[in-house]
Amino acid sequence: MDTSISNKKILVTGGAGFIGANLCEALLQMNNTVVCLDNFATGKRENIAPLLANKNFSLQQGDIRNLEDCKKAVAGVDYVLHQAALGSVPRSIKDPITSNQVNVSGFLNMLVASRDAGVKRFIYAASSSTYGDSEAMPKVEEVIGKPLSPYAITKYVNELYAGIFSNTYGLQTIGLRYFNVFGRKQDPNGAYAAVIPKFVSALMEGDSPVINGDGSYSRDFTYIDNVIQANILSMLTNNPEAINTVYNVAYGDRNTLNDLMGYLKEYLSSFDPKIASVAVINGPNRAGDIPHSHASVEKAKKLLHYNPKYSLQEGLKEAVQWYWDNL
């Protein structure tokens, strides 16, 4: 299956964020015209700084909560890769209103703008948080539980709206339920930093990283290159069964936080042997967290020909090199 797309005009919302900037970069390398829409609330200019010199790249500073910004961004676009959102379960617990404004109202604005512009397909970041309190493992797309946080509600509402826009207006949509994505350009700073860059930066500084709980919670950690592949396949597919639905995007394995810490210490100690002996602190469990997460990726394999190349270990080896060079 070909995993390259070229000569298309593609809008990446949240294109200065971790996942968005990686998508922008990959799409430019494949010879596409890329529009990045970002308000820099959580996105970073340095993520896209190297792209600004590329004649096929344009940056529009704007906000998905403003319909006019959305309309301007989608003009003449073939595909939308909608990554713009306020991530983080704890952030949504602290400020549910802003999370809802961005993730629900902003999402609806993007759907309306895409529909009105005649965009070919709208592919959006959904979330593994949609599984909520469902204890079924591995997670299959059709079996979800009750949401456990405002963030999880917003991402589920995205799926419901996308379904309505497909059925009512004929807008082709594909939702990608990302599972714990990590890799280059992921920010280790700030109150809502993801676990892998947070652990990496603590270990590199010789500080004791704090694990929430006893470290037995597990996740299906997904390297950024697997996510890029899933987005490209979502644009390429012509299979009618493959569109207007949602997919898990993961590796299809699970590792505990203790496993993760072991790998990080092992790989980082090749740069600095002292890292192997940094002590780890166990803190309380985090509100709204599910104990275990493990995706079935059979649906994406079958309908999109998704074939994730990077396990946690393989992805971490690449990611720690990037962090060592860039942090």
Could you give the CA distance from residue 55 to residue 268 in angstroms, rounded to a whole number?
Answer: 37
Of residues 131, 151, 267, 323, which has the active-site annotation? 151
Q: Strand locations in the chain, DSSP E? A: 9-13, 33-38, 57-61, 79-82, 121-127, 173-178, 181-182, 210-212, 218-219, 222-223, 245-249, 255-256, 281-283
Cβ atoms 22, 184 nearer than 8 A: yes
**307 vs 68, 233, 242, 252, 272, CA distance in Å?**
38, 10, 15, 11, 34
Do the Cβ atoms of 209 and 202 come closer than 8 Å?
Answer: yes
Please choose, from the candidates 162, 171, 78, 164, the residue with its C-alpha nearest in 3D space to the C-alpha of residue 126: 162
- Three-state DSSP state, 123: strand
Q: What are residue 172's phi and psi, to 5 degrees?
A: -70, 130
Sort strands 281-283 and 210-212 into parallel, antiparallel or unpaired.
Answer: parallel
The secondary structure element, H or E, covering residue 132 is none
DSSP letter for each residue of 247-259: EEES-S--EEHHH
The DSSP element (H or E) to which 297 belongs, if any, is none
Catalytic, 267? Answer no
Q: 222 phi and psi, to 5 degrees? A: -125, 115
Structure tokens at 148: 């456990």
Closest listed residue to residue 186, CA positions, set 175, 176, 201: 201
Task: Please identify every residue annotated as catalytic.
Answer: 151
